[in-house]
Amino acid sequence: MNDGSVALKKLAERVLGKGADLPLALLLELLAPVRQMRELAAEFGLSPKGGFRLEKAPAHVLAPMLAELRDGKQLDRVLRLLLPPARAPGKAATEHEPDPALAEATALAELRGADLARARDELERARETAARARERESDLLRRLELAEQETAMVRRAAAPRPSAAAPGKATTGLGDDKELQVRVHELESEREGLLDTHEALRR
């Protein structure tokens, strides 16, 4: 026997027993939903007294009319109006209806959490990009230093020097100087390119 049946049995014994001090009409008037009392009265074919229309009858008119019923099935239906509304299956007895404000705050917190996660991802990508840029800058600086060193060495080698070589070897010396000048030009061009790249990377 469930809790509802036990409550109904005890309530019926109290109402129908001798010397009852808790009138059913009073309980119905104070506790039962008016709309459901009107529906039961219509279903049982009852007519309210006092000239009221059934669909407009107030609780104090409907309650005595329903309390006078003595049919077991009808009385059971009337007494059930005094029980709390049945909960949906699967819900705990202590479960409360969701608070709209709490639900909104939870949704807002979830959105902010998602925004924060995206911001962290973007920051991490920016850090990785900056790290790669620093590595490339360091590599360019090393290459620039080597190019400047090689350029200085070639310039020193291409500097005119007094020579006691035989006249027949002068052509070879001129050829070597021309090759050194070309190499110097190439190194200077490479150095300029590295400087431009380094400056662009810094920007």
> Which residue's entry shows tokens 């009221």?
52
Q: Which residue has the higher pLDDT, 164 or 24?
A: 24
Q: What is the mean predicted confidence (pLDDT) over 37-52?
A: 89
CA–CA dist 22, 94 (Å, integer): 29
Q: What is the mean predicted confidence (pLDDT) over 124-138?
A: 86
DSSP letter string, 123-189:
HHHHHHHHHHHHHHHHHHHHHHHHHHHHHHHHHHHHS-------GGGHHHHHHHHHHHHHHHHHHHH
pLDDT band at 48 (very low <50, low <70, confident <90, very high): confident
Q: What is the pLDDT of residue 187?
A: 80
151 with 182: CB under 8 angstroms?
no
Q: Is pLDDT above 60 for 39?
A: yes
Q: Which residue has the higher pLDDT, 117 or 18?
A: 117
CB-side neighbour CA atoms (13 Å) of 175: 5
Select from 201, 186, 198 the least CA-distant residue to 140. Answer: 198
Select from 155, 158, 162 the least CA-distant residue to 191. Answer: 155
Q: What is the pLDDT of residue 160?
A: 66
Query: Any idea what the Cα angle at residue 95 is, between residues 93 and 99, rounded to 5°?
Result: 155
Q: Is pLDDT above 90 for 116?
A: no
What pLDDT digit, counting tens, does each position of 153-184 carry?
877 776 666 555 445 544 455 566 677 777 77
Give this prediction's pTM. Answer: 0.37
